[in-house]
Every structure is written in structure tokens, then in C-alpha cells.
Amino acid sequence: MKEFAFIKSLKNLSSADGLHGIGDDAVLTDGLLIAKDIVAEGVHFTKYAPLQNIIFRLFTANVSDIAAMGGQAEKALLGVALPSTLNKEKLTEAVRYACSYYDIKLIGGDTTSSISHFFASLTIIGSPSENILTRNGAKEGDEVYLSRPVGGAAAMLARELAGERVYEHYLYKAETELGEYLGGFGVNSCIDISDGLGRDASHIAEASGVRIELDSRLIPEYGISDAVSSGEEFALLFTVPKSRAKEMEELIHRDLKRPVYRIGKVKKGAGVFMDGEDISEKGWEHG
């Protein structure tokens, strides 16, 4: 639920309860978080990619949208348009695996045939934590955090696009545990990395009306350029008031036995900069 230039054009149809509508990772309505992602063969995956991996990434993208809002994904509806050559048993197995991995109950869906390519749509329903995390809550003085190293997806995608049958980047996991934890803790803003660190940080900067300054020396990475532009990472990027940052790091370390990475600061102004260079447009164009 990221690329909605078209959907956004339907402006006066798009305010959800006047609260969190189009523009965040998921929408909050009737006390539920709902996200929807679609994927198409030839755009999001090649016909050689294993069904298991394609379906897993579709689930991950949706589950990650809920995690980035601080919630927990619980239920799903799946729609598929199936070319006659598609192996339905493998598809069933792939859906079963993804549901099982993320502990999601499949509650409905629709199946049809396709005279050309494979197309799938997933609607995810999640329950919010105490706090709804959005993109527009970053405040001047916040510390900026990244949940884990990024860049690997871009590196593997490059190999896939060069013809190698590399599909491990489809299996990156959504940050379900951390997302829910941050929702309980209540950070100021949060987004998942699906368009690239540069561009996703700029979504926060724009929505919050702030400037984000990142320090390349702090970024856990597989290579700086990859780290900035690699999409579909599903790491979380979030900002926390300086006064609560140390407490948050310690709690996450204690309760989740993992680190998170402080990578920069929120300042007055606009845009996203790394070591002074504007990186707000650096990202991955998908679909």
C-alpha cells in the first residue's frame, strides 16, 4: 500500500474517519488496521520465481504495513488471477506457509482465471497497539532509528535482473515483533522500508514537515549506496524523542534481545540528507 498516486487523486473519497487515511502504510478504520497490496507478474516478480517466494513477499509487504503502524496482522483475504499453467497445489502450499509463518488466518478471497499473467491481491486486517504509528509525527529533536541493516535486497535484485535465479530477497521478514513493541512504547513516527531508505525517510519528512539528517557512519549496511536506495527491505525506520531514546534502546535490548540502530536526527526544515547530500529521491522504482 505505497504507490497511490492514482488512488490519491480520488482525494475527496479518501479520508478515513478523519484519522489515518491514504498516505500511511495501512488505514485505521472501525478499530482495525487494514492494508492492501497487489502484485503482478512481470512487474513484481519474474515467471521463474518460486511461488512460495512470491506469495511470501506479498504477505510480508502487507504484514509490514501493519507492523509499521505499530499493530499486529491477524487476518487476510486473498484474491488471485491464475494462468492455466500455474500449479494450484504449489500455490495452496505457499499460502498455507505464509499464513502459518505470520500466524494469519485466511478469512476470505476470490479466485479467477487469467488469460495472461499471474496477479495476486492481499488484504490484511490487523489490530492496533496502544499507539497508532504514523508518518506525520516526527518532531524536531527526535532521534532517527533503523531496525536492521539494509541493502541486501538491492544487491540480490541486481543479480536477479542480470539473469541469475536469485530469489532469497523475496523471503525478507516483516518486523512484526518490533512493530508491535514500538506501538506499545509509542514512538513519534514510523514507516517500513519498501521504497528505499532515502525515499521512505522523505515520506516521514514530508508528512511531518521536518528535515531528516542521516550520518553515513551510523548506518548498518551492506554498502552505503545500496543501503540508501534498496527497497522491499521491510526494515522499520522510526523516530523517537531524544529524551526517550536511551530508555527505548534499553527496553528493546532487554525484551526483544536485539539492537536497533540510531542513524540520524530530525531537524527543522525539509528534505532528507546524508552527510549533507540530498538523498530524498533515492529509492527503488517498483511498479
Please give the annotated binding residues, written as ranges. Answer: 25, 37, 44, 65, 109-110, 135, 192, 194-195, 232, 284
Interface with a copy of itself, residue 84, by CB under 8 A: no
CA distances from 112 to 50, 150, 261 (A): 20, 37, 44
Interface with a copy of itself, residue 149, by CB under 8 A: no
Q: Give me the least distance between CB of 232 and a copy of itself, in Å please.
A: 13
Burial 160-172 (b: 16+ CB within 10 A, else e): beeeeebbebbeb
Q: Give me the least distance between CB of 179 and a copy of itself, in Å please.
A: 18
* Angle, vertex CA 176, rays to CA 134 and CA 283, nearest 5: 60
The nearer residue to a copy of itself, 36 or 267, going by C-beta atoms, is 36
Binding residues among 15-54 for a copy of itself as defined by CB under 8 A: 15-16, 21-22, 26-27, 29-32, 34-44
Binding residues among 85-124 for a copy of itself as defined by CB under 8 A: 88, 91-92, 95-96, 99, 105-117, 119, 121, 123
CA distance 58 to 111: 16
Name the residue among 271, 199, 211 with its Cα closest to residue 237: 199
- Cα-Cα-Cα-Cα dihedral sign, residues 54, 146, 252, 31: negative
Interface with a copy of itself, residue 7, by CB under 8 A: yes
The nearer residue to a copy of itself, 55 or 272, going by C-beta atoms, is 55
Residues that bind a copy of itself (CB under 8 A): 1-7, 9-10, 13-16, 21-22, 26-27, 29-32, 34-44, 75, 77-82, 88, 91-92, 95-96, 99, 105-117, 119, 121, 123, 125, 286-287
